[in-house]
Amino acid sequence: MKSYPFRYAFEVPACKKVRVLISTDCKNEADDQFALVHALMTPKFRIQGIIAAHFGRPDSMQLSFDEINRVLEIMDMTGAVPVLHGAEQALAADGETVLPEGAASIIREARSDDPAPLYVLAWGPLTDVALAVRQAPEIAGKVNLIWIGGAAWPQGGPEYNLHNDIASANIVMKSAMPVQMITSPGFRRSFVSLAELEYKVLPCGLIGAYLFRQLVAHNEAVAPNYTASSGEGWCLGDSPSIGLLLNPHRHYCETQPAPLFSEDMRYIHDQNNRPIRIYQEIDARFLLEDFFAKLALNYGKSTL
């Protein structure tokens, strides 16, 4: 089995390491897998668990769960980190009677005596985060959320991750939880060409081949109906959350009172909520080069 955490010729000072829980709708399309591999290879992160998130279909959480395990298996990391079932669907109006493993893990980590900061990286809907903070409101100040979600600020509008559970997003926005929200203009900056991925990812072992080929297959499958696809590139839209933890991007964001979201996903301003950070831009060069370097160091030809 591949050793975890991954080792490099440099050490991350212990005081700089952070605890991380990842919530991913991993089988929704083709970019979560890239972000997952990147996070697992990042020595700053102490990954405490990976939560499978739903994405609208009745069986979608289980599809995400299976895909997470598939990625770990290809990386030769089966069992290296906990994989947890998340909520099976968006927040129900009448509440949840059973707390999913994912939400329970957020509460457990937030209540831990471990002094390392706790971050939740959410690459899909906020259902498990909302369930956790609704069940245990006192944990909100102990969980730092980085969410890939929300449309362009300050108007808002349709955005996929928000669409899959607007009610949960509103619960989180009304809580005391520190939030960094990477909106669609920000996460779309991590666009790559298929040629670059063939050159830099495909040669990197079994996992590089899997990442490249599943993205190409998805690109071909959705091409007739997906106008956002250029046909020769893809947005690695979940990876910017990793970039914020490696490079705080403080000059890229604005701090505003947390909004709420209307049913048509527009921002509702003038809320008496605590401030959050809103990102409309990220350093894509730094982020992507870090991923390509770590992939080559760990799975490149010389390491096979």
Residues of the chain below pLDDT 70: 93-97, 227-228, 302-304
Which is it for strands 144-148 and 45-52: parallel, antiparallel or unpaired? unpaired
Find, among 177, 196, 278, the residue nearest to 235 by Cα.
196
186 belongs to a structural domain: yes
Residue 95 has what pLDDT? 60
What is the residue range of 56's domain? 14-192+235-283
207 belongs to a structural domain: no
Preceding amide of 158 cis, omega within 30: no
154 belongs to a structural domain: yes
The pTM for the full model equals 0.96
CA 4 to chain centre: 20
Residue 228 has what pLDDT? 66
The alpha carbons of the chain give a radius of gyration, in whole angstroms, of 18
Task: Give me the phi and psi of 45, to 5 degrees please.
Answer: -90, 130
302 belongs to a structural domain: no
7 belongs to a structural domain: no
CATH number, domain at 112?
Answer: 3.90.245.10
Residue 304 has what pLDDT? 42
Sign of CA dihedral 111, 112, 117, 121: negative
212 belongs to a structural domain: no
3 belongs to a structural domain: no
Find, among 150, 159, 154, 161, the residue nearest to 128 by Cα.
161
CA separation, residue 121 to residues 45, 218, 240, 296 (Å): 11, 24, 10, 24
Quote the number of domains for the chain. Answer: 1
- Side chain identity at 55, as an amino acid letter? F
290 belongs to a structural domain: no
Residue 93 has what pLDDT? 59
